[in-house]
């Protein structure tokens, strides 16, 4: 359940840092030649694994990813490797492997950018065992698939970029999660960028029941305040760093977090290195 990601000068959230943000969404700056295939590889070291307010691991995690894009279509593979023991007791193993496909719609409606896609979350280390065909079995090993659609207002992209993304699970969770995000980017030089932002995630009752337990109502779950910075070291190599504070809505959501996950609020950070082939 990895996160929001943008590629280009306006980097809304590096995937390895998105934490409480969301399953991967890829938004790219227009390429000079849309037919040219672009491939990038990234590796992030993060102090915790946080997803939509859910703290799965209070220890360090390693999060690599590979992205390929062409004609507005982006394919991403992202993994989470737990260096310390996570909430399910997994340590020194990949607890999650996600595959996402996104498409930036070729529309120009009053400076809005629209994206659609699908994400499949897999949990290879969570299985209780393997069946006769070698497939993982167990409730915790079952994958989850979400469809998403996003809209970004680019009219004031040099100063602020508001966006809203709707995620809908097509099986198991059968719920809806909506992420509201506002980020303010600033270019320090031709090689350095910094941005700060705030986001909030709302889940309907089905989504909240699945991830937080009990008979939850539709409500805002998580609130996030973040700062990202990046620097182009070489022509194709960019280093970045992030710090985020994630807090939860009070009441039943926060009470559930104390019972199900490893924390009910978190300050976490990470460093990331990206290489464009």
| The pLDDT of residue 9 is above 70 | no
Model pLDDT, residue 151: 95
| The pLDDT of residue 35 is above 70 | yes
| The pLDDT of residue 129 is above 90 | no
Per-residue pLDDT tens digits for 41-58 = 999 999 999 999 999 999
| The pLDDT of residue 141 is above 50 | yes
| The pLDDT of residue 171 is above 70 | yes
Model pLDDT, residue 135: 52
**For the chain, what are the domain ranges?**
4-276
Q: If you average pLDDT over every residue of the chain, what do you get? A: 85
Per-residue pLDDT tens digits for 224-273 = 999 999 999 999 999 999 999 999 998 999 999 999 999 999 999 999 99
| The pLDDT of residue 204 is above 70 | yes
- Between residues 11 and 96, the one the model is more confident about: 96
Model pLDDT, residue 107: 82
- Between residues 78 and 137, the one the model is more confident about: 78
**What CA–CA distance (Å, rounded) separates 127 from 223?**
31
Residue 108 — pLDDT band, cuts 50, 70, 90?
Answer: confident
Model pLDDT, residue 266: 97
Per-residue pLDDT tens digits for 189-199 = 999 999 999 99
Residue 24 — pLDDT band, cuts 50, 70, 90?
Answer: very low
In terms of C-beta density within 10 A (0-12 exposed, 13-18 middle, 19 or more buried), how is residue 220 classed? middle
Model pLDDT, residue 109: 75
| The pLDDT of residue 62 is above 60 | yes
**Domain 4-276 has what CATH class?**
mainly beta
Bridging pattern class, strands 25-28 and 4-7: parallel
pTM score of the predicted model: 0.86
| The pLDDT of residue 104 is above 60 | yes
- Between residues 111 and 179, the one the model is more confident about: 179
Alpha carbon distances (Å) from 32 to 13, 29, 36, 72, 153: 23, 9, 8, 12, 22
């Amino acid at each position: 359940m990895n996160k929001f990601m943008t590629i280009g000068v306006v980097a809304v959230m590096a995937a390895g840092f998105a934490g409480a943000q969301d399953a991967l969404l890829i938004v790219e700056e227009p390429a000079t030649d849309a037919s040219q295939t672009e491939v990038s590889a990234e590796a992030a070291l993060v102090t915790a694994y946080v997803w939509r307010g859910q703290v799965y691991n209070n220890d360090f995690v390693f999060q690599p990813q590979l992205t390929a894009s062409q004609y507005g279509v982006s394919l991403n593979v992202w993994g989470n490797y737990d260096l310390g023991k996570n909430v399910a007791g997994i340590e020194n193993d990949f607890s999650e492997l996600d595959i996402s496909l996104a498409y930036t719609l070729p529309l120009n409606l009053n400076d809005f950018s629209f994206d659609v896609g699908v994400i499949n979350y897999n949990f290879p280390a969570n299985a209780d065992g393997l069946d006769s065909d070698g497939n993982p079995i167990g409730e915790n090993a079952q994958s989850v698939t979400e469809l998403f659609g996003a809209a970004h207002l680019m009219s004031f992209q040099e100063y602020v970029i508001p966006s809203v993304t709707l995620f809908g699970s097509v099986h198991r969770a059968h719920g809806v999660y909506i992420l509201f995000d506002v980020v303010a980017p600033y270019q320090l030089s031709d090689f350095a960028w910094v941005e700060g932002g705030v986001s909030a995630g709302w889940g309907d009752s089905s989504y909240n029941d699945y991830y937080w337990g009990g008979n939850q109502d539709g409500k805002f779950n998580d609130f996030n305040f973040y700062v990202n910075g990046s620097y182009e070291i070489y022509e194709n190599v960019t280093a970045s760093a992030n710090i985020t504070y994630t807090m939860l809505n009070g009441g039943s959501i926060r009470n559930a977090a104390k019972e199900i996950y490893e924390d009910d609020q978190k300050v976490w950070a990470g460093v990331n290195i990206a290489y464009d082939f």
